[in-house]
Structure 1
Amino acid sequence: MKYRKQLPARCQVFIFHNVVYCLWYLQADCWLVYSFCLFTKN
């Protein structure tokens, strides 16, 4: 995951613990989470 280092800690934790769930069940929502985290990293 090349984006992980760019994300704030809370997003890293969320994605780390939910990556399999995201990839297999909620791909679109997973990308929404990525986008949300990237846009709110400050």
Structure 2
Amino acid sequence: YIPEIKKKDSWTNIVFIVQVVVLVFVVMGTSLDDFVRTVGMDY
């Protein structure tokens, strides 16, 4: 049972990390989009 529990915990951690990474990319993407718009206006 221990290997199954470890596997389950690892999978849960991977899913959690992926969600955090996606959230960070979404936030960065939004900031980058605003930055590009600002630079576009400057040009």
- TM-score bin (small chain): 0.3 to 0.5
Instruction: Select the structure of larger CA radius of gyration.
Output: 2
| TM-score computed with the length of structure 1 as normaliser | 0.40
Q: Which has the higher helix share?
A: 2
